[in-house]
Amino acid sequence: MSEIDPKIDALVPAWLYLPDIAERWGVVITQVRDMVRSRTLLAVRRGPNNSLQVPADFIEDDGQVKHLVSTLTVLRDCGFSDQEILEWMFTEDDSLPGSPIQALRENRGTEVKRRAQALAL
């Protein structure tokens, strides 16, 4: 959880604060913080208050985007930092097509995880 690089920050179209996610999901804020702490949800410090924020594309009304947790795990196992994960997730990939996060949101998680696993080779 470090302050985000401006180049990577520019890739992510929208961000959510942890309290906003908790409200959206109808849970207490500590549950969202626990997800960040356990690394099942990726948050970075950004903005004038250096507050923890999550890419809005990672969040749906009832929880995280399907296959996001397993994709984060694969990328971390490959040695990716949080910033490298964000860069990879939001960079267009002609072979998908679109970005990996777009593919996850379209329920194409198997394709995304396959590409993430190939990064370890």
* pTM value > 0.85: yes
Give residue-wise pLDDT tens across range 28-55.
999 999 999 999 999 999 888 889 999 9
First to last CA, the chain: 26
DSSP letters along 28-62, please? Answer: -HHHHHHHHHTTSS--EEETTTTEEEEEGGGEETT
pLDDT-derived band of residue 109, with 50, 70 and 90 as boundaries? very high
